[in-house]
Amino acid sequence: MMDESRRGFIGKAFGAVAAVGGIASLIAMKKTWDPLPSVMSAGFTTVDVSGLEANKLEIVVWRGKPIFILKYSADMKPTDGRSVKIGDSYFSVMIGLCTHLGCIPGYEGEKKLFKCACHGGEYSADGVQTFGPPPRPLDIPPFKLDGVTLVLGEEGPEYKKMTAKA
Ligand code: FES
């Protein structure tokens, strides 16, 4: 009788410890799945634009999205709220997803325009829609400048100025 209840108690106690251990190992596993805190809180991508060629589209990936970086050639005019000066040159910095239904437009350097193959939408080099179904210009991702380095994912004064005007 005594023995049985003792065994019952030990059994329960062991069960409780096992359950706690199970939760602890689940927490440990979850920790390994989560991104590192530094990566999670930062979430930015840096791009040195000093080596980019004029009128040639550069595409980088930021938070899973294509980001268009287009350095203007001498004959391309910057526009307020759409072009940003980095170093001595002007650039378009935009999320490369068509504002119609999200396809990735291609850049035609000879015509200096973006064309979306999905439904024929077109945008000028600064990302303003000029033809077809796109309802608004290409979006501008949050960015800041650090010399000639573009930091995607942080809102700097240039970004705030551009988006206030856009
Ligand atoms: S998704 Fe680009 S025009 Fe429709």
Domain parsing of the chain, residue ranges: 2-34, 42-165
Model confidence at 18, pLDDT cuts 50, 70, 90, reads low
Ligand 1 centroid to Cα of residue 119, in Å, is 5
Query: Can you give the pTM of this predicted structure?
Result: 0.75
Give the nearest ligand 1 atom to 101 CA: 1
Q: CB 128: neighbour CB atoms within 10 A?
A: 18
Q: Which atom of ligand 1 is found nearest the CA of 134?
A: 3
Atom number of ligand 1 nearest to Cα 105? 2
59: Cβ below 6 Å to ligand 1?
no
CA-wise closest residue to 138 among 121, 160, 155: 121
Q: What residues have CB less than 8 Å from 55, skipping those under 6 apart?
A: 70, 71, 72, 73, 76, 109, 112
Q: Cβ(130)–Cβ(113) under 8 Å? A: yes
Output the CA 166–ligand 1 centroid distance in Å. 21
CATH class of residue range 42-165: mainly beta
The Å distance, Cα 59 to ligand 1 centre, comes to 19
Q: Please say if the pLDDT value at position 165 is more than 60.
A: no
Q: Is 138 in the pocket of ligand 1 (CB under 6 A)?
A: no
> How far is Cα 28 from Cα 137, in angstroms, rounded to an integer?
45
- Name the residue of 116, 122, 131, 139 to mutate for ligand 1: max ligand atoms within 8 A of Cβ: 116
DSSP string across 109-159: TTTTEEE-TTT--EEETTS-EEESS--SPPPPPPEEEETTEEEETS--HHH
Confidence of residue 163 (pLDDT cuts 50, 70, 90): confident
Confidence of residue 52 (pLDDT cuts 50, 70, 90): very high
Q: Give the pLDDT of residue 15.
A: 53
Confidence of residue 16 (pLDDT cuts 50, 70, 90): low
For residue 144 and ligand 1, the question of a CB distance below 6 A is answered with no
In percent, how much of the chain has pLDDT > 70? 73
Confidence grade of residue 87 (pLDDT, cut at 50, 70, 90): very high
Decide the pairing of beta strands 113-115 and 106-108: antiparallel
Q: How far apart are CA 34 and CA 64, in angstroms?
A: 17
Question: Which of these, 114, 165, 158, lies nearest to 138 by C-alpha position?
Answer: 114
Tell which atom from ligand 1 comes closest to the C-alpha of 119.
Answer: 3
Q: What is the pLDDT of residue 43?
A: 73
Q: 78 falls in which pLDDT band (50, 70, 90)?
A: very high
